[in-house]
Structure 1
Amino acid sequence: MLEVADVLRQYGPAYLEQFAEQMLPSQGRACEDLQQCRTAALGGHLYECDTCGREHYAYHSCRNRSCPKCHADDTAAWLRQRRTELLPVP
């Protein structure tokens, strides 16, 4: 499945080259964060299963508020709450 990070990795450098002067610093940082989220660039932790001893490496997330990977659960919860506020129209 194509992710925002994949698009930013492929087209981000050309986009930033053309529009960086028009962007806020926070927007440029968000582009960088989303590209690095859950990759070796941010490091990670090695976890070991207490039952079988199998090891699993999990990369750190960027925790940027614009990141769809980091905030998917928060976004889904926000949408559920908004649905309860909708008017009952056909």
Structure 2
Amino acid sequence: MASVVIYTRQFCGYCTRAKKLLESKGVDFIEHDATYDPELRQTMIEKSNGGRTFPQILINDVPVGGCDDLHALDRAGRLDEMLAA
């Protein structure tokens, strides 16, 4: 199974939706809460190629974007293949 990392912040509906989608697929993921951590937020921006919104999701160290991007991958049938890699 793929390595999945998600950068989140508290009280973020998009973060919740993204995590629910991953959980519904049985995916284990590492969550980093960057709500009060500017250094972690900077790490997120660097690893996500400039992504500043929450959440930012990486699959096998490849930035896939945020919640809407994750759901778009799922609708296109590409998320499962990325998670299986």
TM-score (norm 1): 0.28
Which structure would you say has the larger Rg? 1
Report which of the two has the higher share of helix.
1
TM-score (norm 2): 0.29
